[in-house]
Structure 1
């Protein structure tokens, strides 16, 4: 009887091959058990060759930006800027042109020239009190001339004080005010009778005392009508300064 031909290839003996296959199956079973305990489906874990068993996802590609997308982004940006500007003008800061010469020489304004543009802080009086000598913008009181919706003057009298003018000076009670901001070209101020400033109101006067319709005419103004405090001159360039 002829002898069985022995395999000549490099592969392992049948019993060794069986042991390797059993070992691979055992490792796969161990991995499957670990994945099940971890709560991850076995099909999503890498196989022995490093694959996951799932088809590979196509590489993501950036979508081209269309003119519609650019227009949408531009409109959104402009809307955000508009909302910010409106909010700032309404609640934080605004600008006002000086309508007359009533605040000379501190602020310049006239009908035939380029008036000063002042920045007005609308927020500070929410956290602090109105102080004497502050330059403020306020809504036009009923007895003031109707040329402008807002006026700008300097705070002279505070609530509860008595203000008067005599001997060319302004007095708070019995004390004369030092007023370096007054226009010297006006000369001494005209006398006016003592006025008791009511609670919650303020006595306003222009720095150009001989050309200012102020609380001497229309009385003290309520604090609720104050728009804000003038903090700087922003235009023209040659007048730029803090107030």
Structure 2
């Protein structure tokens, strides 16, 4: 499931705008403002000299010329400088908050239903898994590692311009088996509890009932969906992804993968309607964006607001 940022590559757009407005702001503070001040001083000196000469000659000074207005007109910033100076702190604040603290995303597809629904506006914690340089997404400070059960946003390995969201199923070294639509992690079968059937729609707004279960993934409980008529695995869709041959074994209706070092195995909660690590492979640590933790708005359903489990 792909995720779209508000304006495409918004981080790059913000960075460029911050640099441009910042350069203009600095230019004004350290150069242009001083030039305007010098010009104003010269104009005021000429004004005072002219007024003094008129007074000395017995003439009344020209009261139509207001000294304060003259100074203000010369010191006034050009429009392009004024707007840049106003926008710079706002853009810089948004860039810092979005790059290092929290980033908004919108859910466009149903691969994480019932945990996340189409139209959910979510917040992603950017520092949970470490501090990364914006744009480059290079980790500079290690904090925490992703844990099984986390809902994580990452760069799609096949297209780094796309942001995906899935649940962490396997961490480095884990042996993941998926058979008969049930997970086994490191030889321990994951426990499932049947819940009432889930009635929901897909991207085409087609309603259907799905089997719903509570999955206890090594202590983290969450809901998943299975579509009864769907196969466990669509083998023709499995790609020849990196490290597939040495790490994974596929059959017609099952697979077993050992997660390589520095990588993670991701799956959608809507198991039969999710293209994930089963098909395109592992997620490198360098692709991690952050941990999804809160739904802050869904214009179609305000009851969706709340924490993500």
Question: Normalising by the residue count of structure 2, what TM-score does the alignment of the two structures yield?
Answer: 0.50
Q: Which residue of 2 aligns with 1:242?
A: 307
Q: Pick from 138, 147, 161: which aligns with 1:131?
A: 147
Q: Which residue of 1 aligns with 2:184?
A: 171
Is the aligned partner of 1:87 residue 2:96?
A: yes
Q: 1:230 to 1:162 in 2, by over 3 A?
A: same
Q: 1:177 to 1:236 in 2, by over 3 A?
A: same
Provide Cα deviations, 1:120-157, integer angstroms capped at 9, x if missing partner.
Answer: 11111111111111101111122xxx6x7111000000
Provide Cα deviations, 1:34-64, integer angstroms capped at 9, x if missing partner.
Answer: xxxxxxxxxxxxxxxxxxxxxxxxxxxxx89
Q: CA RMSD in A?
A: 2.8
Question: CA shift at 1:75, angstroms?
Answer: 5.1
- Higher strand fraction (1 or 2): 2
Question: CA shift at 1:77, angstroms?
Answer: 4.3
Matches within 5 A, 1:40-79: 66=72, 68=76, 76-79=85-88
Q: 1:210 to 1:92 in 2, by over 3 A?
A: same
Is the aligned partner of 1:183 residue 2:224?
A: yes
Distance 2:102 2:181 in 1: 36
Of structures 1 and 2, the larger Rg is shown by: 1
Which residues of structure 2 form unaligned runs of 5+? 1-67, 131-142, 192-214, 216-220, 233-252
Q: Which residue of 2 aligns with 1:104?
A: 113
Distance 1:165 1:128 in 2: 27
Q: 1:189 to 1:208 in 2, by over 3 A?
A: farther
Question: CA shift at 1:202, angstroms?
Answer: 0.3
Question: CA shift at 1:78, angstroms?
Answer: 2.8
Equivalent pairs counted in the alignment come to 173
Question: CA shift at 1:90, angstroms?
Answer: 2.0
